[in-house]
Chains A and B, each alone.
Chain A
């Protein structure tokens, strides 16, 4: 989807994306030539369709700013934190697709508990790979 400022005949640029509100996302576009601003307000179905493509909305760094299309799954990661994760292990975990990350994390923590570990680090991940024959 693109937005055109009709009086200027210039493409509009995304200015900001607001966090989701009950599934609706607000995206503000502006025209660099005349400064005119407009907002696109999605309905939840539209939000979901874009989410389903696995893409992020917003300018650079939107993912880190809890962009509406990425914040939801990040919230799911507030799991039982009895097992600690080192930054290196967390970094590796981010390579697991988001839609199965929580399940993968649970499986790794189950292994860590069985082995008596209180923390998951890269060494534990490597050890688990050997344990499961990978």
Chain B
């Protein structure tokens, strides 16, 4: 008797072909993207999305065409951070137009479409059983976004991931080996311990892990004109990957993020640190690209 592998096709539904066609459509739409960098974390709340947004701005200021895909479908924050709430997705002749913020960074986020007081919902025939299908549907949704947006030419596509080690691994497998990863943590052993799990998960994939960024390493005190400690200084957990930069917390930045306003153009320590990070990221990815 024939086995599964002896039979070509599935008799008419062509499920696998359709999944393959989706991947081909993604490849086609991303053909003009030079570097894909996914930004993940262990736990939520470490400032990953804020850092992603600021890094994109710094890369743009260095002359790079840059965009962000907010892949955190259940907690999309890039629309607010970029001042793009209430901006509809607009279909153009070559696909859906890429919304752009005031700094000319492209931003695709469900936060532009779904009000913050509403949960992101998908149509279903099995209400109450979302644990059985929701994760699959979410990846399909990200695939649909990737394959429908007219990304055009980009030097950098930053992908803001949802938190969690298991999500980081799933996205590594979903996005493929050409997507590099960068992790964000805060300087506490609690957060570093969880990021260590993401590091371990990514080590089992062919994806390149550039390193990690230590966010909120101290806070900028305007009165003291100095960066003061925010977390207990501790590096007992060695992540075993390069530290790409350290960025201090700044209440002014937090307030600007809430308002969706750009906070750049200052010489405050956080922005100096983000610009330095952009330089390091650019150098690291470009060096790798030229070696290939």
Q: Which of B128-136, B196-204, B216-224 contacts A (4 or more CB under 8 A)?
A: B128-136
What are the residues of chain A within 8 A of B10 when measuring CB–CB?
A: 1-2, 14
Q: B18: which of A52, A55, A110 is its contact (CB, 8 Å)? A: A55
Bound Cα distance A6, B4 (Å): 13
What are the residues of chain B within 8 A of A48 when measuring CB–CB?
A: 124-126, 129, 132-133
| Contact of B88 with A53 in the complex, beta carbons under 8 Å | no
- Give how many B residues have a beta carbon under 8 Å from the other chain's beta carbons: 48
B138 to chain A, nearest CB (A): 9
User: How many A-B contacts if CB must be within 8 Å?
Assistant: 150
Question: Max chain A CB contacts within 10 Å: which of B12, B110, B113?
Answer: B12
Interface of B toward A, CB cutoff 8 Å: 1-2, 4, 7-13, 15, 18-19, 22, 86-93, 95-100, 110, 113-114, 122-126, 129, 132-134, 136-137, 140-141, 143-145, 148
5 tightest CB-CB pairs across the interface, nearest first? Answer: A107-B88, A14-B12, A23-B125, A97-B144, A92-B91
Q: Which secondary structure dominates where chain A touches chain B?
A: mixed
Question: Max chain A CB contacts within 10 Å: which of B8, B9, B11?
Answer: B11
| Listed A/B pairs (14) with beta-carbon separation below 8 Å | A1-B10, A2-B7, A2-B11, A9-B1, A11-B9, A14-B10, A14-B11, A45-B129, A48-B132, A53-B136, A93-B91, A97-B145, A103-B88, A132-B90
| Contact of B11 with A12 in the complex, beta carbons under 8 Å | yes
What are the residues of chain B within 8 A of A45 when measuring CB–CB?
A: 126, 129, 132-133
What are the residues of chain B within 8 A of A51 when measuring CB–CB?
A: 124-125, 133, 137
The residue on A at minimum CB distance from B141 is A99
Bound Cα distance A106, B86 (Å): 11
Residue A66 is within 8 A (CB to CB) of chain B in the complex? no
Residue A33 is within 8 A (CB to CB) of chain B in the complex? no
| Contact of B86 with A107 in the complex, beta carbons under 8 Å | yes
Residue A26 is within 8 A (CB to CB) of chain B in the complex? no
| Contact of A55 with B15 in the complex, beta carbons under 8 Å | yes
